[in-house]
Amino acid sequence: MSEEKNLTEQESLQIITEMIHKVKGSFHESGTSAILWGSVVGFCGLFSFVKAHFDFSTGWFDVWFLTLIAIVPQVIISIKESRQRKILTYEESAMNAVWLVFGISIFALAFYNNVVPGVSENFYAKDGIELLQRNKATGEISAFHPFIFSESSIFLILYAIPTLVTGLARKFKPMIIGGIICYLLFIVSCFVSFQYDMLLQGIAGIINWLIPGLILRNMFLKGKAC
Amino acid sequence: MFKELDPILHSQLRLAVMSLLIAVKEAEFTFIREKTNSTAGNLSVQIQKLKDAGYVDVVKQFKDNYPLTTCKITKKGINAFEDYVKALQQYLQVGK
């Protein structure tokens, strides 16, 4: 392509159309990450089903640990793909944000599942309560490990998802900070009672949406005034 | 009254570069060279002109011990491109 050629309006339009079209055909998803996670999660799910159905033990080894191990090849794949990538589209950038936040949320849920039983027992223990269960057939009494489900904690994860995705995709710091704080509030909510969960929900609403919303409103009004 | 076409954009290679960059968040120099079928020297000069006008940001770094140049359109560049397209539409409507 030469530089100083005198362009007609039609030629200009043709260049614009041609270049935008060239970009459209330049990016193809390799599918490697999807294959990796599809295989790992698929295997873990099916293995857990077979294990429950045939009632056998794998000792200390939980097959779902494989999902943690799979993070290693995922990191390698991500580095390799980012090295090979010559362009970053807006769509790809937004999709990266979606999958990153999805990953964080999955780990937040895993954290919730592991922490809540111990916290639930502590709540009862504080009131001097120990829960027991009795086997009707044998009469055997054993400790019952409660799991106090807190929907507020789950809601906090849900609040964080769209905020952090929007913040990352649009590079809007108030929403990135809001989303991160919301995940931190989720961690706190795993250890406190329902009453404090409500306080955390209120804080999350203010930090997650109200403050970024006011900043956006301010920017919008400034833009309108110009 | 017709708007004058921005002389920075009204050039074959610079317009091609801006048209590529408007569609992506960022692109490597080699990608732009490949898609515009231009020489490295000519492309460098034109990108520098776009950079001087504040239409693109250029980041130079190293990847695997090789220099890597990444280009990104700026807000000013987006506005200039949009104005250029609007002006172009005016000319084309009259030509119909």
pLDDT confidence bin for A146, thresholds 50/70/90 = confident
Which among A7, A13, A11, A15 is positioned nearest to B11, based on CA atoms?
A7
Mean pLDDT of the A98-117 span: 93
Angle at B19 between CA B14 and CA B25, to 5 degrees: 115
Exposure string of B47-62, with b = 16+ CB inside 10 Å and e = fewer, is bebbeebebbeeeeee
In chain B, whose CA is at the least distance from the CA of A170? Answer: B25
In chain B, whose CA is at the least distance from the CA of A94? Answer: B25
Distance from CA of A219 to the nearest CA of B (A): 15
Count how many pairs of residues, chain A against chain B, have C-beta atoms within 8 Å: 87
Classify residue A125 by burial, with Cβ atoms within 10 Å: 0-12, 13-18, 19+. Answer: exposed
Distance from CA of A160 to the nearest CA of B (A): 25
Q: Say whether A22 and B20 touch across the interface (CB within 8 A).
A: yes
Position A3 scores a pLDDT of: 54
Residue A98's Cβ-side half-sphere holds a number of Cα atoms within 13 Å equal to: 6
Q: What is the pLDDT of residues B1-59, one digit of tens each?
A: 567 788 999 999 999 999 999 989 999 999 999 999 999 999 999 999 999 999 999 99
In chain B, whose CA is at the least distance from the CA of A14? Answer: B16
- Could you tell me the domains of chain B? 12-95 (1.10.10.10)
Query: Where is A131: in which H helix or E strand?
Result: none
Of B19, B27, B88, the CB nearest to A86: B27
Q: Given CB atoms, is B95 within the 8 Å cutoff of chain A?
A: yes
pLDDT confidence bin for B96, thresholds 50/70/90 = low
Distance from CA of B66 to the nearest CA of A (A): 12
The ipTM of this complex is: 0.86
User: For residue B26, what are the β-bridge partners?
Assistant: A88
Q: How far is CA A88 from CA A163, B18, B21, B31, B78, in A?
A: 22, 15, 10, 11, 17
Which among B36, B40, B35, B30 is positioned nearest to B13, based on CA atoms?
B36
